Structure 1
Amino acid sequence: MGLVHRLVLGLLLAGNLAAAQAQSCAAQSGMTPPLVVELYTSEGCDSCPPADRWLSGLRGRPGVFAAAFHVDYWDRLGWRDRFASPLYTARQQQNVAQSGARFAYTPQIVVNGRDWRDGELPTPSASEKAVIALKLQRDGEEQVAVESRALPGAPARVQLWWAQLEDGHSSEVRAGENRGATLRHDAVVRAYASLPAGGADQQWLLKKAPAKGEDGRPRRLLLVATDAANGRVLQAAQLGC
């Protein structure tokens, strides 16, 4: 076999392997709902770094999915948080009433849709049965097929949201309350969207859900289903490939 033929064969095999890996890259929800922990934080807030470190400590914890939403209302006070977005600020403010908080603040921890100030996380209940099933299937480097299915006990109206997450970020803060500090972040939300509330049985294709993020770091996709009536988390699944 000539050199050209060997090169062509190698490229074909590599392409087939990549396609097979993409097809086998999938995640689905479990029989019981996990804990979904949202942290609302900012690099401009001097009380936020301990909460950031606490969230990083949740990495790999079974039954727990974490997401750090960096809000932008601290940006006007001397340091612009490059991870912040007005979308995340709007999400926090819109969920104030449902979460049980009196107002939006940082650092705020929300666990399964509820404002959480007790420190130690609750233990997921093994007796609580899932009423929603979620499935994520990667379809190439940029796209992910998503499926939500109602199980017995599902509410009539469900809201689905997803976030693309990255770990291992750091910033050298040069102004504001954290001036001179090097801050490290995990589970940073880099993209976020939600669907209008509707029935639980849905299928769609996310066309901008890359497997790699900034500087080639792995990007995870977190999908969460909530009860549209009260914001309570019903189910979640996370795709890490």
Structure 2
Amino acid sequence: MAMSTPFSFCMAAALTATSVHAVAAGTACMASSGNTAATLVELYTSEGCNSCPPADRWLSSLKSRVDVVPLAFHVDYWDRLGWKDRFGSAAFSQRQGQQLAVNGSRFAYTPQVVVDGADQRGGPRLPSSRHASPVAIEMTQAPAGGDTTASISLAAPAGMTLAAYWAVTESGHRSDVSAGENQGVTLLHDFVVRQLVDVPAWMAAPGQPHALRLPALSAPDHDTRIALVVLDGRSGKPLQALAMKACR
């Protein structure tokens, strides 16, 4: 059952070190994760939920954190209250339900914050330190929103099953809500997931990088970013994440 919950703030001290490096290099954009795990933050939210705006603002506050990959999944089950969230998707509502078995939550609710695959009911708690990841990602995108390719390398001594997903996000959106629980409120949104592409599981082997490809985007707009999240193929838990601004 979907429900709304008050959003409280409990955030660890800001981290200073980062292994993420992104540059514009002539004809392409590139980013590399290194072997240190980035923090993945997945927010399930809705414009029809009156306790979601504080969570949306908190997610926006992560803009300066290059060690964090934020993603906002707008669900559609609050649309019935009279305001249709233009970013809402039944696929994201379904995904939230499917992820309960991974993140440990007993039910779907908004705003729900999931950090590194774990439900953060009661307020988000970012890790105070970072750990090594068995996975490293190198990402390259052709200019003007062209194809994006990624190379996934495994540092673990033995092979393991991996899976992944691509998420294309947009920031800087504004909505003037005229109905529902947030009637009369102007909402600002960042890291809104506009495209989600699941990558089937594969058997990864040390010393044998695995290549992935995301087809060309439509014209990048609203501060478009491309994120790739690599998962443990058995548990579904994230192992590494990387995001970069789309080439223009």
Tell me the TM-score normalised to structure 2 length.
Answer: 0.82
**Does 2:216 align with 1:208?**
yes
Q: Deviations along 1:110-144, whole A, 9 cap, x unmatched?
A: 00111013535333534x22211111101232211
CA contact (8 A) 1:32 1:125 kept: no
Moved over 2 A (4+): 19-23, 117-126, 199-202, 208-211
Aligned with 2:148 (options 140, 144, 149): 144
Q: Deviations over 1:78-129 (max 9, x none)?
A: 1100011122112111101110000111100000111013535333534x22
Match of 2:69 in 1: 65
Q: 1:112 aligns with which of 98, 116, 119?
A: 116
CA deviation vs aligned residue, 1:12-50 (integer Å, no higher than 9, x gap):
xxxxxxx96333x10111221011000000000111111
What residue number does 1:134 align with?
Answer: 137
Matches of 2:87 and 2:78 in 1, distance apart? 12
Q: Secondary structure at the match of 1:192?
A: strand
Deviation at 1:210, TM superposition (A): 4.6
Q: Deviations over 1:192-224 (max 9, x none)?
A: 1111122234213211335612xxx33100100
Looking at secondary structure, tell me which structure has more strand per residue: 2
Q: 2:202 is paired with a residue of what secondary structure?
A: coil
Find out whether 1:159 has 2:163 as its counterpart: yes
CA separation in 2, counterparts of 1:233 and 1:96? 14
Structure 1 distance, partners of 2:219, 2:162, is 27
Aligned length: 218
Which TM-score applies when normalising by structure 1?
Answer: 0.84
Aligned to 1:37: 41
Tell me the SS of whatever aligns to 1:199: strand
Task: Give the aligned residue type for 2:104.
Answer: G
Which of the two has greater helix per residue? Answer: 1
Task: Tell me, in whole angstroms, the C-alpha distance in 1 between the residues paired with 2:65 and 2:232.
Answer: 24
Matching residue's letter, 2:197: A
Aligned to 2:78: 74
State the alpha-carbon separation in 2 of the partners of residues 154 and 161 from structure 1: 23
- Structure 2 unmatched ranges of 5 or more: 1-23
- 1:22 aligns with 27
Determine the C-alpha separation between the residues in 2 that align with 1:71 and 1:240: 24
Contact 1:160/1:194 (8 A) holds in 2? yes
Check whether the contact 1:211–1:219 (CA below 8 A) recurs between aligned residues.
no
SS in 2 for 1:58: helix
Partners of 1:166 and 1:65 lie apart in 2 by 13
Q: Structure 1's 221 and 210: CA in aligned 2 closer, same or farther, altered over 3 A?
A: farther
Structure 1's 147 and 49: CA in aligned 2 closer, same or farther, altered over 3 A? same
Instruction: Let me know the Cα RMSD of the aligned residues.
Output: 1.9
Q: Say which SS state the counterpart of residue 76 (structure 1) adopts.
A: helix
Q: Residues 35 and 135 of structure 2 are in contact (CA less than 8 Å); yes or no, is this contact kept in structure 1?
A: no
Answer yes or no: is 1:94 the counterpart of 2:98.
yes
What secondary structure is seen at the aligned counterpart in 2 of 1:57?
helix
Structure 1: distance between partners of 2:171 and 2:46: 16
**Quick one: percent identity of the two aligned structures?**
45
Q: Which amino acid aligns with 2:165?
A: W
Cα distance, 1:232–1:154 mapped onto 2, change above 3 Å: farther
1:98–1:144: structure 2 CA closer, same or farther, 3 Å change rule? same
Gaps of 5+ in 1: 1-18
Q: 2: CA distance between counterparts of 1:99 and 1:20?
A: 38
- 2:223 is the alignment partner of 1:218: yes
Could you tell me which residue of structure 2 aligns to residue 170 of structure 1? Answer: 174
Alignment CA distance shift 1:100-1:80 (3 Å): same
- Aligned partner of 1:187 in structure 2 is 191
Distance in 1, matches of 2:74 and 2:159, equals 31
Quick one: which amino acid aligns to residue 80 of structure 1? K
| Alignment-derived partner of residue 84 in structure 1 | 88
